[in-house]
Each structure stands twice: as C-alpha cells, then as structure tokens.
Amino acid sequence: MKINFLQIAQIELDDAISYYNYEVPGLGDAFLTEVLNALDRIGEFPDAWHPSSKRTRRCQTRRFP
C-alpha cells in the first residue's frame, strides 16, 4: 500500500518535529521514528485500525499518542 501525505499534513508533521526538537534535543527525531513505524504498520495492515469514518482509520503512535 502506498501512503501519501497531503501537503498540509506534511507541514504539520515538520512543525511537530521542530517543536519536539526545540523542547528536548532529539525528541523530534524520536517522534519521526514513531510516525514512520506507524506508517509501516498501516502499510502492512491497512484494515487493522479503528474506523473514524467510511474512508478513514485511526492509528496512534506508541510513544506519542
């Protein structure tokens, strides 16, 4: 399964990474790793997550819920 981010979602992700790195050096990098791990799980098991709507499912990261 190919996963794409909307441009606004990519901007939000980049902002969150910057924020976490500003608060604690390296924390933003850990956040990105968690997001990438969640994306891998979504790609492997796309129907495993709780439905939010007909076309959307919700997958939380483990360390950054």
pLDDT tens by residue, 22-56: 999 999 999 999 999 999 999 999 999 889 998 88
- More confident of the two residues 2 and 9: 9
* pLDDT at residue number 40: 94
Give whole-number Cα distances, 29 to 8, 37, 52, 59, 64, in Å: 20, 12, 28, 19, 12
Give whole-number Cα distances, 8 to 14, 15, 24, 45, in Å: 10, 10, 24, 25
* pLDDT at residue number 41: 94
Give the E-state strand segments of the chain in sequence order.
50-51, 57-58
Give whole-number Cα distances, 38 to 4, 56, 62, in Å: 14, 15, 8
